[in-house]
Amino acid sequence: MKLFKTCSAALLAIGLLGGTPVLAQDADLGKANDVVRLLFAKHSDRFASGDSPLMNEAGLIRRFFVDCLAVDGLQGQLQFDPIFGAQDADVSDLRVFPDPQMPIFRGAAQIRLEFSNFGAPRAFVYTLVRASNGEWQISDIYSEDDGWSLTELMRTGGIANVACDPNREVTLFDPPGTAPASNPESGMEDGDLPARTDDQPGSTDMTSSDPDAGIGMEQGDMPAVSDGGSDLLFILDGSGSMWGQVDGTAKISTAKQALSGLVSDLGGATNVGVIAYGHRREGDCNDIETLLPVANHAPEAIGTVIGSITPRGKTPIAGALQSAAGAFSGADRQANILLISDGLETCGGDPCAAAKALAEQGIKTRVHVVGFDLSEDENRALQCIAREGNGNYYTANTAEEFVDAVNQAAAFDAVDETLAPPAEPKTYFVETFDGPELDQAWSVANEEPLLKALDGAGSLFMAAVGKQNTYDNAEALNRLELDKPLPEGDFDLSLEVRMDLQTGREHVWLSLAEDATNQLGALFWADWKGCGPALHLSLIKLSGEVDAKPERTAFDMSLFGGPLVDNICSKGPRAYADKVLETLSDTGAVLRLKRRGRQVSAELEMQLPASEGYEARTAIVETEPVTALRLSGKPNLFAGQWSKGAPGESHYFIDTFAIEEVSE
């Protein structure tokens, strides 16, 4: 027999839906999505703790599934786990979302659940239908990998259950012992998950000893409104660096334990929400997810969601703060955001501007920040988020410090007016190229006067042509070196540069160099794609014997692969990418080589234009650092051209070079 994704037609035939189903609106898909997400979370929790499988207990299943599928011992009779589609599980990369091709079929919602099990991809489609109170119930599970459906397996296996009365359906949003809702559109607000209540009288189906068996909302409760309370939104760092350890424990574990232990102490007047970033995909600056909207959730549901976060990716702090703008109810309640991060923005966003926009959005919003296991410089860099967001900044390296920070944010403390602003860099050396000559500390290797000149307007003009003009070639023309001692502490080398991508193979190099073979530098460069030029930022360390091929260590970032613009070979993004290149030619960018302790990184700062549906913004992108036990060499700057570029010269205008001391 051919199996189908949905059995809603069969359910209609047996009268489960009680007549013509209510057609779902797009917003209702969020509710269906939440039912599947919470089912998977609770099932996974019981699996991890070694408890009896959720699918073996009819009283629990009825809250998620239609009565026809609620059978005691179901998983045992099937002899495998229908949620994982296997007998064992090691789950990662979980995604739950409405089926993009057929989100609604014959009035039933179709929700896709995808994950990897022991590294193998798995895909399921959940069909959900309306119970009599208008809420969603799962009516079937279809496995795309193995071609089975749950209803078909039960039918062919003789696993029958005749308790299919649509007027007695128990749902997550309508506990047993209450009257069916008269309005099919009533229930939870879009995307919300239910709050915990104790079992109601008459809950004879709740035979499990599971303390979470009473998940559901009291009749008439709404999740995001309670007079006199406050809203608290956690934004939790799920980037890969959260696997780093503090006192022998992974930072993500400390954060999970601290937050999960605190939510039950916040009080019923505090609504809680959770946003995570970097927790699903590596290298994806769009990996930001609202796991729980701000609402009066059960502490167990909040703990389950926080516990499901697995660090993997980038640190898009600005994007996460922008996502928080729509997380609150808009009621006259204090709205507190608590951002927990163990690193700086890595996706080119402007977190300080995003925090300022949140604080100005017309509701009582404060953005508090916990810097977890950060250096003093990193803490200073994040302080502007709290300052612009009218919030407080806390340093935290232990769970106890998390407790203190969360309690203060939840209590709506006043802004700490004593918070010191980040230290401003102190100029150690600056070259403005005003002329008539370069500073005497400069020397030029392989000088070619025809390809460089002070333009009289405060810039050094440089040109490059030919395959020998590369940053790592000892014979490259016009390499500038500064014979001046470096600051003993932390510092930035910075270069303001304008360049016109005439060939699509341009590059600018800012380094500390002993010679061409031994350098540590920041490279801002272009390559040519089929649809036009693309920009990149790299941190490169070269070491080896002179005139021999050096050992190369590098961190490379595709700036046209997310941080500045993405999908540049499609129409809209390509048009915007060309606008960015025009801005690079007209107003330029700032390239930096940054030393912080033993860590050295490359950074690019650029003012991006408003065009093609994109907003104007300041983009700051920084690479991962390398560790340098000692720094040697002199500051070098170089503008060159790769081989195989389009015919022509590459032209550059260097507006300023500076060395800036960064004090404690």
Task: State the number of CA atoms in the 13 A half-sphere of 355 facing the CB.
Answer: 25
The per-residue pLDDT for 167 is: 58
Q: Among 630, 555, 634, which Cα is nearest to 597's?
A: 630
Stronger pLDDT, 392 or 12, i.e. the higher one: 392
Tokens found for residue 470: 């590369």
Q: Among 173, 172, 170, which Cα is nearest to 202's?
A: 170
Question: In Å, how far from its chain's centre is CA 55?
Answer: 32
For residue 523, pLDDT beyond 90: yes
The per-residue pLDDT for 8 is: 34
Q: Among 192, 188, 176, which Cα is nearest to 220's?
A: 188
Q: What is the mean pLDDT of the chain?
A: 78
**Distance separating alpha carbons of residues 267 and 269, to the nearest angstrom:** 6
For residue 157, pLDDT beyond 70: yes
pLDDT in tens, 483-508: 998 998 899 999 999 999 888 889 99
The per-residue pLDDT for 531 is: 84
Band of residue 627 on the pLDDT scale cut at 50, 70, 90 = confident
Q: Is the peptide bond before 103 cis (omega within 30 degrees of 0)?
A: no
Burial class (CB in 10 A: 0-12, 13-18, 19+), 570: exposed
Question: In Å, how far from its chain's centre is CA 431?
Answer: 39
Tell me the one-letter amino acid at 122: R
**Distance separating alpha carbons of residues 639 and 523, to the nearest angstrom:** 10
Tokens found for residue 115: 């994950």
Residue 660 DSSP label: E
* Beta bridge mates, 338: 234, 368
The per-residue pLDDT for 225 is: 31
Q: Which range is least confidently modeled, 263-277, 296-310, 424-438, 532-546?
A: 263-277
Total-model pTM: 0.43
Q: Among 498, 499, 524, 497, which Cα is nearest to 509's?
A: 524
For residue 220, pLDDT beyond 80: no
Q: Among 494, 497, 493, 492, which Cα is nearest to 508's?
A: 497
Stronger pLDDT, 454 or 201, i.e. the higher one: 454
Confirm if 81 and 87 have CB atoms less than 8 A apart. yes
Q: Which range is least confidently modeled, 151-155, 235-239, 309-313, 514-518?
A: 151-155
Q: CA torsion sign, 202 to 208 to 209 to 214?
A: negative
The per-residue pLDDT for 218 is: 26
Confirm if 265 and 403 have CB atoms less than 8 A apart. no
Say which residues have a Cβ less than 8 Å from residue 550's Cβ, sequence separation at least 6.
Answer: 472, 517, 518, 542, 543, 544
Task: State the number of CA atoms in the 13 A half-sphere of 284 facing the CB.
Answer: 14
Question: In Å, how far from its chain's centre is CA 291?
Answer: 12
For residue 369, pLDDT beyond 80: yes
For residue 381, pLDDT beyond 50: yes
**Distance separating alpha carbons of residues 493 and 604, to the nearest angstrom:** 12
For residue 639, pLDDT beyond 50: yes
Band of residue 653 on the pLDDT scale cut at 50, 70, 90 = very high
For residue 284, pLDDT beyond 50: yes
Confirm if 110 and 98 have CB atoms less than 8 A apart. yes
Stronger pLDDT, 395 or 413, i.e. the higher one: 395
Task: Give the mean pLDDT of 600-619.
Answer: 89
For residue 481, pLDDT beyond 70: yes
Find tokens 């896709």 and name the residue: 112
Confirm if 166 and 159 have CB atoms less than 8 A apart. no
**Distance separating alpha carbons of residues 265 and 396, to the nearest angstrom:** 20
Q: How many CB atoms lie within 10 A of CB 162?
A: 7
Tokens found for residue 120: 């193998």
What are the two backbone dihedrals, phi and then psi, of residue 239, each rounded to the nearest 5 degrees? -75, 165
For residue 227, pLDDT beyond 80: no
Alpha-carbon separation of residue 346 from 145, 235, 314, 449 (angstroms) = 36, 16, 6, 39
* Beta bridge mates, 92: 116
Q: How many CB atoms lie within 10 A of CB 325?
A: 14
CA angle at 502 for the pair 499 and 504, rounded to the nearest 5°: 90
Tell me the one-letter amino acid at 253: S
Q: How far apart are the first and last CA of the chain?
A: 73
Query: For the chain, what is the largest distance between any 2 Cα atoms, rounded to a whole number of angstroms?
Result: 94
The per-residue pLDDT for 640 is: 93
Tokens found for residue 93: 């990369």
Q: Among 363, 362, 380, which Cα is nearest to 371's?
A: 380
Q: Which range is least confidently modeled, 258-272, 383-397, 586-600, 624-638?
A: 258-272
For residue 213, pLDDT beyond 80: no
* Beta bridge mates, 523: 509, 538
Task: Give the mean pLDDT of 472-478.
Answer: 91
Q: How many CB atoms lie within 10 A of CB 549?
A: 10
Confirm if 477 and 464 have CB atoms less than 8 A apart. yes
Taking phi over 0 as left and psi of -120 to 50 as alpha, with beta for the rest, 191 belongs to left
Tokens found for residue 481: 């070196």
Cα Rg of the chain, angstroms: 29
Q: What percent of the chain has pLDDT over 90?
A: 28
Confirm if 94 and 40 have CB atoms less than 8 A apart. yes
Find tokens 């390239």 and name the residue: 591
Q: What percent of the chain has pLDDT over 70?
A: 78
**Distance separating alpha carbons of residues 149 and 152, to the nearest angstrom:** 5
For residue 115, pLDDT beyond 60: yes
Task: Give the mean pLDDT of 156-177.
Answer: 63
For residue 294, pLDDT beyond 50: yes
Q: Is the peptide bond before 635 cis (omega within 30 degrees of 0)?
A: no
**Distance separating alpha carbons of residues 273 and 294, to the nearest angstrom:** 4
Q: Among 318, 333, 302, 331, which Cα is nearest to 412's?
A: 333
**SS3 state of residue 393:** strand
Q: Encode burial over 216-230: b for 16+ CB neighbours within 10 A, e otherwise.
A: bbebeebbbebeebb
The per-residue pLDDT for 188 is: 30
